[in-house]
Amino acid sequence: MQLSDIDLNAVPVFLVLAQERSFTAAAERMGCTKTKVSLQIKALESRLGIALFRRTTRLVSLTQAGEQLYQHVLPLMQQLAQQLTEVQGSEQNLSGTLVISAPEDYTQQILVPAIQAFRQQHPALAFELKSSDQIKDLVKEGIDLSIRAGWLKDSSQKAISLGHFEQWLVASPAYLQRYGQPKDPSDLPQHHFICFTLLASALQWSFSKGKEVVQVQMRSQIKAGSTASVTALIQAGAGLGVITDYSAKQWIQQGEFERVLPQWQLPEGGIYAVYPPGNFRPVKVRIFVEFLKQWLADTGH
């Protein structure tokens, strides 16, 4: 099949309908009639010789072929839209919206002040932050850049290192006053521990001091699925918890937390800028990542 055999005007209609799952909603979003949307989809399906959608009285859903087409076409259309946008400006005049996902604690402590500094240089560029400790699908959610903290499981991901972080065991002064300060990692199983459930081994920790390594199985009656919840529970005196050093430092300076067993180290993690699949890097993404790397170095993060 030749490219000229397909009405490319139907492609954006297909993408919108796949996202809205409603002919009425798709028509409203595109500013046309429901009949036009229906005719465009029927023509595309007829030309391809396959059904792209299942239609019922209440629901429109993608077929397997439709889902496959959507996953392939969406990033291509996003890249095309970005390239068309960028020809209107230059690297010195960034515009549009930069969508970034990052862990909650990293967003609050690092990303927000970095963005504020960046916006002074590029005031026309808008930002959308999708803060979450969950790993998001960059393509499905239209994310331009993901900042991830920890250990990348998939070595094929397109990512660059931004730096490293330490993990600190901390507690509130009230908790330590009530239950006592641990003297050694072997004391920890006797303490309450706030479990961060997104970690692969959330209750098993390896403490090291020089060449000495101690494996500890923590005891937990409270579990949380976000860094914000873990931090709040530690602050409330519910138990010990492990958080990143860049989050802990602020709380320690304010007298809210105390570091526990500071002479013992937990495994370090990495901070990465992760890109969506494909070789295309929008100008706004490239410039922001370059800025962020320099800002991190200048601020000592």
Q: Could you give the angle at the alpha carbon of 189 between the alpha carbons of 185 and 190, nearest 5°?
A: 110
The per-residue pLDDT for range 184-235, each reduced to its tens digit, is 999 999 999 999 999 888 999 999 999 999 999 999 999 999 999 999 999 9
Tell me the C-alpha distance between 38 and 35, whole Å: 5
CA-nearest of 250, 253, 284, 287 to 106 is: 250
**Crossing angle for the helix pair 23-30 and 10-20, nearest 10 degrees?**
130
The per-residue pLDDT for range 241-274, each reduced to its tens digit, is 999 999 999 999 999 999 999 999 999 999 999 9
DSSP code of residue 17: H
Q: pTM to 2 decimals?
A: 0.66
Cβ-contact 30, 24 below 8 angstroms: no
pLDDT band (50, 70, 90) for residue 81: confident
pLDDT at 2: 54
The per-residue pLDDT for range 18-47, each reduced to its tens digit, is 999 999 999 999 889 999 999 999 999 998
Domains of the chain (ranges, CATH numbers): 3-86 (1.10.10.10), 97-165+270-299 (3.40.190.10), 167-267 (3.40.190.290)
